[in-house]
Amino acid sequence: MAGGLTANLSAAIFMKNLRLFLSQSALGLAVVLVTALGTGCIVLGKQKSNPTLFNGTDLSGWEITDFAGGGAVTVKDGEIHFAQGELITGIHLAHDNVPRTNYELEVEAMKIDGDDFFCAITFPVGETYATFVPGGWGGTVVGISSIDGMDAAENETATFMKFEKNQWYRFKVRVTGEKIQCFLDGKIVVDLPLEDRRIALRPGPIELSVPIGLASFQCISKARNVKLRPINP
């Protein structure tokens, strides 16, 4: 009988100590978790990535492209302002931490004055790059440079339209392993299959716009709402 009481007492003491140990361990783990979360060491669940490339305040993350004779670039009222230069004025991302395919790049742009492209968008296409040109070659050509060595004015992506001054236009470039697609105010204007095509930048100053760049040729223009997001094609 005494042996049974002793065994029961020992078991009760063991269980009490076990509960105390587990309680202290859980408390310690909670403290560790709270500390880690507070310092950003642990992230629970998935976070939505911010697609915005331009913060609306300054050119953080961007550099003014060193085009010869380029105009001033400033930020005001949540917009990037491009002054008219002798030739090209522009900016480009200061890093190359961007997707090479399966993404969408969006920009809103406005021409204030001038008669040529006001927001050429340079972007990655796999291991190379291309430029979507809105309003080039005198202000009306829309297309991709370059394809198989031919500029936007020469290849099958060329279309022609008039861009009004002081009007915002919404551009989107979508790149997948199969296609380059470009949209103007939601309407597709380029739908180019990539199989057996040679994509490259036009040789010259625009090569400074990589990996992603915005450029204006002898125009005063504005850009805003620059966004980049990965997609599942």
Pair (182, 140) in one structural domain: yes
The pLDDT value given to residue 49: 58
**Amino acid letter, 134:** P
Phi and psi torsions of 220, nearest 5°: -100, 125
- Does 23 share its domain with 122? no
Name residue 57's amino acid. Answer: T
| Residues 11 and 114 both lie in one domain | no
Q: Is the pLDDT of residue 129 over 90?
A: yes
Between these two residues, 147 and 51, which has the higher pLDDT value?
147
**pLDDT the model gives residue 208:** 98
57 part of a folded domain = no
For residues 23 and 30, which has the higher predicted lDDT (pLDDT)? 23
Does the pLDDT at position 11 exceed 50? Answer: no
* Span 56-114, pLDDT tens digits: 999 999 999 999 999 999 999 999 999 999 999 999 999 999 999 999 999 999 999 99
- Both 133 and 222 in one domain: the answer is yes
Whether residues 158 and 84 fall in one domain: yes
Q: What proportion of the chain, given as a percentage, has pLDDT over 90? A: 78
Structural domain total, the chain? 2
Q: 132-166, pLDDT tens digit by residue?
A: 999 999 999 999 999 999 999 999 999 999 999 99
- Does residue 54 lie in a domain region? no
Q: Note down the domain range covering 12.
A: 1-47
In a domain, residue 132? The reply is yes
**3-state DSSP call for residue 186?**
coil
Q: Cα–Cα distance between 216 and 143 in angstroms, integer?
A: 15
Residues 31 and 98 in one domain: no
Report yes or no: 195 and 125 within 8 Å, Cβ to Cβ.
no
Flag whether 56 is in a domain: no
Average pLDDT of the residues in 28-48: 36
CA distance 136 to 218: 11
